[in-house]
Amino acid sequence: MKNKRPLLIVFITIILLLIPLIAMQFTDEVNWNFLDFVVAGFLLLGTGLACEFSLRKIKKPKHRVVACIVLFIILFLLWAELAVGIFGTPFSGS
């Protein structure tokens, strides 16, 4: 296997999704349903793979860093909007 990074991205996504799954077993504060896990998995995996794609295709190191930072900012803003509705869209979680 030449490139193991995509496999590592999938593995990290699964590990991150296990955190709320395990937390749900011990507390009522975390209450995710199946759709929450699907959306979170899609966002995490999509961001990771998009960053991997940008690392492969962009040649200049500074541009690579900027591209990955922009992707993570977009991930954070989408996650925050879906969780608590910082922009007040109909997709907000509150």
Q: What is the pLDDT of residue 90?
A: 81
Q: What is the pLDDT of residue 35?
A: 93
Evaluate whether residue 42 is within a structural domain.
yes
Evaluate whether residue 47 is within a structural domain.
yes
Nearest to 76 by CA among 53, 84, 1, 66: 84
Evaluate whether residue 90 is within a structural domain.
no
Evaluate whether residue 94 is within a structural domain.
no
Evaluate whether residue 91 is within a structural domain.
no
Q: In terms of residue numbers, what domain contains 51?
A: 5-26+34-84
Q: What is the pLDDT of residue 92?
A: 76
Evaluate whether residue 51 is within a structural domain.
yes
Tell me the pLDDT of the chain averaged across its residues: 92
Please state the pTM of the whole predicted model. 0.88
Evaluate whether residue 9 is within a structural domain.
yes
Q: Which residues of the chain have pLDDT under 50?
A: none
Number of domains in the chain: 1
Q: What is the pLDDT of residue 94?
A: 61
